[in-house]
Structure 1
Amino acid sequence: MVWTGSWSEADARHAMENSANIGYDLIELALIDPDIFDVPMTSRLLAEYGLKATGSLGLDDATDVSSEDPDIVAAGRARLAKALNIVRDTGGSILCGVIFGKLGKYNGPATERGRANSEETIAWLADKAAESDIKLGLEFCNRYETNIINTTAETLAMIERVGRDNVVAHLDTYHMNIEEHSFTEAIQAASAAGKLGYVHIGESHRGYLGTGSINWTEFFGALRGVNYDGIVTFESFSSRVLHPTLSNSLAIWRNLWDDNVDLATKALAFAKAGLEG
């Protein structure tokens, strides 16, 4: 979503061409509406530009698998199954994001039945994903965007209860900066559990890396310290480029950048420098 808020062939080509030209080797596909996602076109362009892909999404009120309403849970499972099929059919290795509940503010804590529905859904989806050698990444978010898991420790506990080998922790610096008291301890805990599986890097204000309040020296040092060699993706949002349903969900009210080529170019250089020490 650094490149586009929609996914026509022109939009997809714009995103992939720029990503490849700058030097990225993977693009994270936003599978917010899997019903209208063009898999053949996407697969063709991935091959043309030599990019790998992952898929991510967040659920909404109508598909919240942490709901107590069985019809809403069923709708959420249907959406997740379609998203999983897209990851499979585009040659991806992981489906990640807020796949355990709604992406948005809740009016109260999760209920016991809601948590059970969420965990049962992840176990069910993990079994389907295992058939295609795909992993699930649970992206814990800050308290304003989910009431299921907000920290690494909560995520690891949920993964243990789910009990599937192909479910991993999806760490995001934006959310960690709000909820964790230590980047180092969180990364070490996920690594020690064998569940550090996916990383989003984003600044505290979601703009240019290195211009906010995140302690990047500690964060990258911790990743190097556990010899993390998995996927790292850059995430940034601006009101200039955004999927229409995400503006409200993520509270993106202002324009944090105009030149996404400059943004993405500097982000890649920043990430490489941090990861290489």
Structure 2
Amino acid sequence: MNPMGIHAFVWSAGSTPEDLSRALDHSSALGYSLIEFPRLDPKKFDVPAFAQSLKAVTMGIAVTMGLQPSADISSEDAAVVATGEQVLREAVSVARDLGAQKLGGILFSAHDKYMTMPTARGRQNSIDTLRKVARYGAEAGVTINLEIVNRFESNLLNTTAQGLAFIADIGEPNVYLHLDTFHMNIEEANPADAIRAAGDRLGYFHVGESNRGFLGAGTIDYAPIFDALLDNGYADTITFESFSSAVVDKDLSIITGIWRNTWDDNVALARHAKAFIQDQMDSAARRRRITRTP
């Protein structure tokens, strides 16, 4: 059975020691096996101490992030690209020091609404930079997982097919796709087929509803998605992600368009999400047994 994770923004938008501890405690109490944090600033908390807290509750961790425009490695400006490379290297280091094995998110461009088409030079700058970061990640024991996001949050990688071609051009074995049902629901012609196409390059998976709220209270058809995950042989973490303006930080709220409270009871939200994902996995397994039993 796949381990289940939850994004820390369900609990808090901050990264103070108190914020981190609260997110960790809530996630552990509800039975999640992994917590996902946005890129953490090591100047704001004690990294070794928090790593020990994670070990004490046997909670796994993943780190995700999006690059700022000033650190956009798909830029044609060499100084901006160099800044982005340094940001990514620091993120790998923090992930390593916390015991995380995955760095995911929008690592290939800025997490922003672009007003221009991507350029061949910018794409190559991103590929060349990520190749170096991936090698650094391999030394640190951290995989690089590129989140395929919708057209309003990046202009470079919006579909699984684009992501697979991009990974092939990077050419490093520890670079994977990070897929997300929210984004796939917007961009993919067939999300289930996209998951199957990802094959063994699927390294991390987000489940999020079309309206960013309670799972099942939107328009996403989850049954084919979980069937595809089973067909794919994906056995890694499935992480629940949800944003509400009651919690999410201001910058992310603007970028992702969270203009209202999609929920106001995060404990009920997280408890429901865990049960929903478990039921979807169980149902997919039952369908497989029925259809494939001689």
Q: CA RMSD in A?
A: 1.2
Q: 1:36: how far off?
A: 3.9
Query: What is the rounded CA distance, in whole Å, between the counterparts of 2:256 and 2:220 in structure 1?
Result: 19
Q: 1:180: how far off?
A: 0.4
- Native 8 Å contact 2:16 2:44 kept in 1: no
Q: 1:195: how far off?
A: 0.3
Matched residue pairs, number? 275
In structure 2, the residue matched to 1:275 is: 281
Deviations 1:67-95 (A, max 9, x none): 11111111111111111001111111110
Q: Secondary structure at the match of 2:140?
A: coil
Q: Secondary structure at the match of 2:10?
A: coil
Match among 192, 216, 219 for residue 222 of structure 2: 216
In structure 2, the residue matched to 1:74 is: 82
In structure 1, the residue matched to 2:195 is: 187
Can you give the 5+ residue segments of structure 1 that lack an aligned partner in the other structure? Answer: none
Query: What is the rounded CA distance, in whole Å, between the counterparts of 2:232 and 2:119 in structure 1?
Result: 35
Query: What is the rounded CA distance, in whole Å, between the counterparts of 1:23 and 1:35 in structure 2?
Result: 30
Can you give the 5+ residue segments of structure 2 that lack an aligned partner in the other structure? Answer: 1-8, 284-294
Q: How does 1:200-239 map to 2 (within 5 A)?
A: 200-239=206-245
Question: What amino acid sits opposite 2:220 in the alignment?
Answer: I
Deviations 1:71-128 (A, max 9, x none): 1111111111111001111111110000111001100111111111111111010000
| Structure 1 residues 178 and 227: CA distance shift in structure 2, 3 A | same
Match among 167, 171, 174 for residue 179 of structure 2: 171
- Native 8 Å contact 1:183 1:219 kept in 2: yes
Q: 1:37: how far off?
A: 5.3
Q: How does 1:47-66 map to 2 (within 5 A)?
A: 47-66=55-74
Q: Which runs of 4+ in 1 moved over 6 A?
A: none
TM-score (ref. length: structure 2):
0.91
- Native 8 Å contact 1:34 1:83 kept in 2: no
Q: 1:226: how far off?
A: 2.0
- Native 8 Å contact 1:34 1:79 kept in 2: no
Q: 1:269: how far off?
A: 0.6
Query: What is the rounded CA distance, in whole Å, between the counterparts of 1:126 and 1:181 in structure 2?
Result: 30
| Structure 1 residues 67 and 36: CA distance shift in structure 2, 3 A | farther
Question: What amino acid sits opposite 1:230 in the alignment?
Answer: D
Q: 1:276: how far off?
A: 2.2
Match among 86, 90, 95 for residue 87 of structure 1: 95
In structure 1, the residue matched to 2:130 is: 122
TM-score (ref. length: structure 1):
0.96
